[in-house]
Chains A and B, each alone.
Chain A
Amino acid sequence: MMKENSLKIKNPYLPYPARIEDVKVETEDGKLKTFRLIFEDDLLREKWEHIPGQFAMLSLVGHGEIPIGIASSPTEKGYLLFTVFRTGKVTNALHQLDKGARIGIRGPLGNGFPVKDELKGKNIVIIAGGFAFTTLRATLLYMLENRDQYGKITVIYGARSPGMLLYKEELEKWQKRDDLNLYVTVDREAPGWTGLVGFVPTITEQVSPSPENAAALICGPPIMIKFTMPPLEKAGWKDDQVYLSLENRMKCGIGVCGHCNVGPIYVCKDGPVFKRSELNKLPVEY
């Protein structure tokens, strides 16, 4: 698969070349863009596989690398989607790139959500805040494509304002489905917004999803997670039913360079997805 590798040695630091096929500005402040990337190698384009919840290192030579969750589901063939927030050196450089630009991809990295084993047959509750929705989009799409393998699917997604919601067109399509309960909320009233209003924890309390044979996949800023847990616990949820996706500073992405460790585990290699019961046994270094 790696044409330059005449030595036939597997090199986890060598990115696969890819090109930007499309750039879409997701939010009204322009800080979030979704990039559709296509591998330059045809075989790789066909054979690529990943598990929802996994991430990849996006490599901009001359600038650096960033770990970004894969926003596309493995069922979306031929391309990968990454929704990137502009914040530092590399993300700024990435946001200035346009169609046709060459980017490197190292991945898939991390463990992903256990969609093929533990989560099968369960009722799924997806709770997302702000731009943490990316890998949950991948997970949701995967489950919708394999709908009969899962029970009831509930999605609670909130953003600061309607303009800050990601994947707006898809949200509208999903609202119309009858095999999915989607609750989209914004923090405050906004002109033209007819949907729910309230913070994600508030809406979670109102929806009060049942913990019966269920699993919750939660992604969001630490403060959102902190306030979302009490309503779930009140409804009877146990810590081993709740899956969280951690973030930490990463460099190698393969559990060697030492930056992302939380106690004995590496977020890049043993995570980023962990059950809350596992996190309770670890130091809070994330």
Chain B
Amino acid sequence: MEPLKIDKENLKDILQVISKDYKTFCPQKTDKGFRDWRIINRDTEFDSEFFSYFDEVTLPKSSIKPFFFPQPETLLTFNYDPKAEDAFLPKQCLDKEPDKIDTVLFGVRPCDARSLILNDMPFKDDPYYNIRRKKIFLIGISCTKQSSTCFCLWTGGSPLGTDGLDIILHPLDDETGYVIEFISKRSEELKDTIFPEKFCSKASQSELDEIAARKEKSKSALKSMPNLAEQLKQKELMAVYNAPFWQDVAMSCINCGACTFLCPTCYCFDIQDEVVKKRGRRIRYWDSCMFPLFTQHASGHNPRGDKVKRVRNRFLHKFKYFPDRFGPVSCVGCGRCIKECPVNIDIREVIRNLLAVK
């Protein structure tokens, strides 16, 4: 599919077109000062503050995880009236039109999109997640700058990565607009609806060359990075487990869930039943392996009652257990955990420590 070009001025038109047919979300400034995914509707102001997102490198506060793995997610519903014929009969709560796209995420950074490819692995049998994967369409934007907390290249990602995206926009150096690259098969089918001809033109050769050069640069940067997954897979399990640096890493941890909840690739959850009068539902909501009660048995025995065991478990899951089972590391290098950790536990220091284990 041929790449197109869109001028900056027409971005607003495209968003207005898309938001008519689909629930469209874009990272927008909130009154708390940070950007987060918000729906585009009649009240949305398409001002310079709105568009500065596409030129700056700010990540939205939340990843796209809440769209695919929301909390709460109703798994089942049931009638709690003992006299009813279907009393206590669980009924699954799945979308009635699983193949129809109903949501568009506009402005997804490559690291966040790549998290989908990673989360697909543990969730492969999960109908709730898989239906959402079909119903949500992702338009991404590649990164021209890097934040001090970005490290996507370490984890095998790239600022121009297309994993998980349907379409990607590449900002041009001259800041006149963006090159639009179509990635997935279904993006071709939707091309005329989302990017109608009157707002786009064919991308010129020089524009394509510019993007190709940027991709080349990123590729060679990636080649010069150590392959984290491969190196960690070769480490012996009990050697990394018993390494002495874990005490220092875990010292300041306050056992909250900030890192896990904002992380695009953390997916632990808990399941609970809620009943109000005669109706009930079984919901799934985010849980964190950092919480002390995460592993507590009904008897009171707690295999990971010590803080250091929990902290170690989280990092080993991401950088050892997950790659041993699925291949890549369970991290996209977005850096949210570094920014948001109240006590500044830095995952990059942990990675360096892990790589140094004999």
**A252 in the interface, Cβ–Cβ < 8 Å?**
yes
A14-B241 contact given A61-B78, A62-B280, CB 8 Å threshold:
no
Residues in A with CB closer than 8 Å to B46 are: none
User: When the two chains form their complex, are residues B296 and A264 in contact, meaning their CB atoms are under 8 A apart?
Assistant: no
Chain B, residue nearest A285 (CB) = B303
- Chain B residue with Cβ nearest A91: B298
Q: Are A13 and B295 in contact (CB under 8 A)?
A: no
B89:A263 contact, CB within 8 angstroms: no
CA distance in complex: A5, B321 (Å): 34
- Chain A, 253-286, CB within 8 A of any chain B CB: 254-259, 261-264, 281-286
| Bound complex: CA A91 to CA B297 (Å) | 13
Task: Choose among B76, B87, B90, B238 the residue with the greatest number of A CB atoms under 10 Å from its CB.
Answer: B90
Residue pair A61, B127 in contact (C-beta under 8 Å): no
Taking A257-B287, A286-B303 as contacts, is the C-beta distance between A65 and B94 under 8 angstroms? no
**New A-B pairs, 12, CB < 8 Å, besides A252-B269, A285-B313:** A5-B92, A10-B127, A61-B90, A64-B271, A102-B89, A247-B297, A248-B295, A256-B126, A259-B268, A259-B294, A264-B320, A264-B325
Q: Does A11 contact B (CB under 8 A)?
A: yes
Q: Across the interface, which residues of A come within 8 angstroms of B237, CB to CB?
A: 263-264, 281-283
Chain B interface, >50% SS class: mixed
Q: Which 9 A-B pairs have the closest CB atoms?
A: A258-B268, A88-B298, A264-B321, A61-B78, A285-B303, A102-B88, A9-B127, A62-B275, A14-B92
CA distance A5 to B78 in the complex (A): 15
Contact A7 B238 (CB under 8 A): no
Residue ranges of B at the interface with A (Cβ–Cβ < 8 Å) = 75-76, 78, 80, 87-92, 94, 98, 122-123, 125-128, 131, 237-238, 241, 267-273, 275, 280, 282, 284, 287, 289, 294-299, 303-304, 309, 313, 316-317, 320-321, 324-325
Asked whether B317 lies within 8 Å of A261 as measured between CB atoms, the reply is yes
In the complex, residue of chain A having the shortest beta-carbon distance to the beta carbon of B88:
A102
Q: Bound state CA distance, A13 and B89, in angstroms?
A: 13
A252 to B123: give the CA distance in the assembly, Å.
12
Q: Say whether A206 faces chain B, with CB atoms less than 8 Å apart.
A: no
Q: Is the CB of B271 within 8 A of A257?
A: yes
A65: chain B residues within 8 A (beta carbon): 271
Interface residues of A, count at CB 8 A: 44
Specify which chain A residues have a CB less than 8 angstroms from the CB of B297 in the assembled complex.
247-249
Rounded to whole angstroms, the CA-CA distance of A259 and B320 in the bound complex is 17
The reply to whether the CB of A96 lies closer than 8 angstroms to some CB of chain B is: no
Expressed in whole angstroms, the minimum distance between the Cβ of A244 and any Cβ of chain B is 15
Q: Which residue of chain A is the closest to B303 with respect to CB atoms?
A: A285
User: In whole angstroms, what is the CA distance A192 to B89 when docked?
Assistant: 46
In angstroms, Cα B125 to Cα A65, docked, is 19
Could you list 30 examples of A-B contacts with CB < 8 Å?
A: A9-B94, A9-B127, A10-B127, A11-B92, A13-B75, A13-B271, A14-B75, A14-B92, A17-B89, A61-B280, A62-B78, A63-B273, A64-B272, A87-B299, A247-B297, A249-B296, A249-B297, A249-B298, A251-B271, A252-B269, A256-B123, A256-B126, A257-B269, A258-B269, A258-B294, A261-B317, A264-B325, A283-B241, A285-B303, A285-B309
Which residues from B are CB-within-8-Å of A17?
89-90
How far apart are the CA atoms of A74 and B63 in the complex, in Å?
A: 46
Least CB distance from B261 to A in Å reads 13
Q: With an 8 A cutoff between CB atoms, is A185 at the interface? A: no
Q: Is A4 an interface residue (CB 8 A)?
A: yes
In angstroms, Cα B76 to Cα A12, docked, is 12
Q: How far is the CA of A88 from the CA of B109 in the complex (A)?
A: 44
Q: How far is the CB of B254 from chain A (nearest CB, A)?
A: 20
Structural contact, A11 and B298, CB atoms closer than 8 A = no
Other-chain contact of B273, A7, A61, A87 (Cβ < 8 Å): A61
